[in-house]
Amino acid sequence: MAKEISASMIEKFSDKIQTTAENKVIKDAVMKNGIKAATLNSEAVVSMNPVFSEEIETGKVSDQKASGRCWMFAALNTFRHKLSDAFNLKDFELSQNYTLFWDKFEKSNFFLESIIDTANEPLEGRLVTWLMDTPQQDGGQWDMLVAIVEKYGVVPKQVMPETFQSGRTLELNRVLDTKLREDAGVLRNMSADGKSREELEEAKTGMLSDIYRILAFVLGEPPKTFDFEYRDEDKDFHREIGITPQAFFKKYVDLDLNDYVAVINAPTKDKPYNKTYTVQYLGTVVGGHPIKYLNVDMETLKSLAISQIKNKESVWFGCDVVLYSDNTLGIMDTDLFDYDTAFGTEFKMTKAERLDYKHSCLSHAMVLTGVNLVDGKSNRWKVENSWGEKWGTKGYFVMSDAWMDEYTYQVVINKKYLSDELKAAFEQEPIELKPWDPMGALAVMQ
């Protein structure tokens, strides 16, 4: 039988606070300054020295502004690091607006195809409810960006610059989701009336025409070809006439994206290590690059990231940046805030429990550009964020090794750094996870 909160119970709770003298000091400090400021551990701040034994110089930090494009910025940042070194450019950026356009267009098609596929599922069922919750959004993962780049290529930022709404995507998302939910209702009703798949697909094509028009008006229409002109750091002028976005990626970025593997750490009982996983109804480009993860223990994940950094190649990674981090200081550390002492209780969920009980998941993507090694072991990491230069050390953060253990969920690694056993493990057929599995979470932090 359920037991209600009684007056005597509240009295006991209050007495427990009042009978401890230091509680008044703590309460006053928290009330006046807020939880983070009142519990900040100055020793942890001092220990997070932004100096690293292994470091990649990557230049000025980019700014995603009020959008959830962190995963896209992080991936394009790894591309531009390579491009800038190869062609002697400084502070060069690829167009995040270009990839945003195609991501939203492809996500719209992916959603409408999912609606057609599930037309016979009950509207109130968990699957269709899950689809309707978020027809499209800013968030994504590495493999989703790969699918976009493989199909559409990339362009310099100057060719398709930011617009008002590309850096403030809230209203665009509202407009697109309104239209897509309306379209979903039309397609489901057509299916209920006995219309064929071909008729549904024909109707969907007209819907996509509307979506394309909305995106073109808001973000601009992506170029089919463009002229690439630049002056390098030696002041030499270069010109490329009429190049396509696909040819630009091949010539100037020159990465085989199939060489890169999404490596995760999900220490839950339902996901054994050295197995591969995918997620139902997660993706961007229908028929494009598949989403596939290789699950490994945390020490293996870190050793792979260290190997890539030591070879002067930055590492895309996904984490839960919200917990135990401070944006102003640019520090992520499990000791940064002493909540246990301040509140007289313990916060002791394990990483697996945080995933199982929906307390944590991949929410943000950034780039690892350095690591500090002591006797071959990492103790802190250099992180390139995409929130501009006002946060941390000109936009760069410091992450403790303990924080990486607890709140990092994914890194992207070139296959050449994998052992033969891990390469073989990655080639396994992936186990399908439900759409709402925490490993299907998208990096979408602003």
Q: Which of 70, 97, 295, 319 does the annotation list as catalytic?
A: 70
| Long-range CB contacts for residues 20-26, cutoff 8 Å, separation at least 24 | 23/344, 26/342
In angstroms, the CA 439 to CA 275 distance is: 14
Q: Which of 97, 173, 372, 385 does the annotation list as catalytic?
A: 385
Confirm whether 361 is a catalytic residue.
Answer: no
In angstroms, the CA 212 to CA 205 distance is: 10
Confirm whether 364 is a catalytic residue.
Answer: yes
Q: Which of 81, 173, 361, 364 does the annotation list as catalytic?
A: 364
Structure tokens at 172: 């665009």
Residues 6 or more apart whose CB falls under 8 angstroms from that of 1 comprise: none
CB–CB of 118/110 below 8 Å?
A: no
In angstroms, the CA 294 to CA 261 distance is: 8
Count of residues for the chain?
446
Closest CA to 79 of 99, 109, 65, 64: 99
Reduce the DSSP state of residue 182 to 3 states and report it: helix
- Distance, CA of 44 to chain centre: 26
Give catalytic residue positions: 70, 364, 385
